[in-house]
Amino acid sequence: METFVQLVLNGLMLGGLFAIISVGLTLIFGIIRLVNFAHGELLMVGMYLTWLGTSQLGLHPYVLAPPLVLVLFVIGVLIQRFILQPLLDARDAHVQIFATVGLSTALINLALLVFGADLYATPSSGVRDSLTFGPFRILIGQLVMFVCGIVVVGALHLFMERTYLGRAIRATAQHRAAAQLMGVDVKRIYIITFGIGAACVGLAAALVAPIYPASPTVGTYFVLTAFVVVVLGGMGSLHGAFIGALLIGLVDSLSAFYIAPDLKEVVIFGLFILILLFRPTGLFGLGRGSE
């Protein structure tokens, strides 16, 4: 029983990690309708920046979160404006996806060039110490991620519901042409959305880096799971992504213990296929109304 509770705790905390990484992805997915294959590499870039800031400037990784959010926002804006926007009117919408694949490969190789294939471990700065509750333990850093996940989802939800910009973003997601007719500057909305999506990754990077060492391919470790989370939660649904992430975390933790560590991916992706078959819009998907 003790083991089971610890497994559930571990699973929820792992879910928090997946959630914080998936939020930005689901935003870009749901609004720009773009499968961003470079998402993991943005995380990688953020993790290297965190490493630089902590080891070279001696800062606490969490102190780096606000500047990283800004930097990644700018990177996201630049990517959308100068790489993806020119392809917006390409005859085949998939060209944009290929562009993100290319970007992903380019970023991985750039990191290889600059940092080499070795690991760069951000100092733990107390984040990897654990809190104990009787026989159970939780890492401080994981708890922080979990809470930040909730806060980010809540804040983005409010932003989308309550602000003019948020409504314009939702309108664009529902029907691009109609929004344009209503006077929404779609290109600008896309740029802002990609920026916000990337900014979420900036926050995630500052939180993940002290837990997990940076390497050129670190993004690929997370991004596949993030895609499953996004589909499970319903593309574009923020709280869906959060709950989806917790579910995947639980499945990961429990199946690795009760079945086998090398089969947990079979379980997760089996689940993924089942969702695609029986509920293609995901648990909290927008359903038929959306574009």
Binding site for another protein (CB under 8 A): 3, 6-7, 10, 14, 17, 112, 116-119, 121, 128, 130, 137, 139, 212-213, 215-218, 220-222, 225, 252-254, 256-257, 260-262, 264-265
Kindly state the smallest distance separating residue 264's Cβ from another protein, in Å: 8
Q: How would you classify the pairing of strands 130-133 and 136-139?
A: antiparallel
Which of residues 106 and 112 has its CB atom nearest to another protein in the complex?
A: 112
CB of 14 to another protein, least distance (A): 5
CB of 221 to another protein, least distance (A): 5
CB of 218 to another protein, least distance (A): 8
Neighbours of 275 (CB within 10 A): 20
Quick check: 118 and 215 in contact, CB under 8 A? yes
CB proximity list for 207: less than 8 A, separation 6 or greater: 20, 61, 62, 65, 141, 144, 145, 148
Nearer to another protein, 182 or 260 (CB): 260
Asked whether the beta carbons of 32 and 188 are under 8 A apart, the reply is no
Least Cα distance to 9 among 126, 146, 158 occurs for: 146
Of the two residues 131 and 158, which places its CB atom closer to another protein in the complex? 131
Nearest approach, Cβ of residue 119 and another protein (Å): 5
Hey, what are 22's tokens?
Answer: 């998936």
Contact 200, 28 (CB under 8 A): no
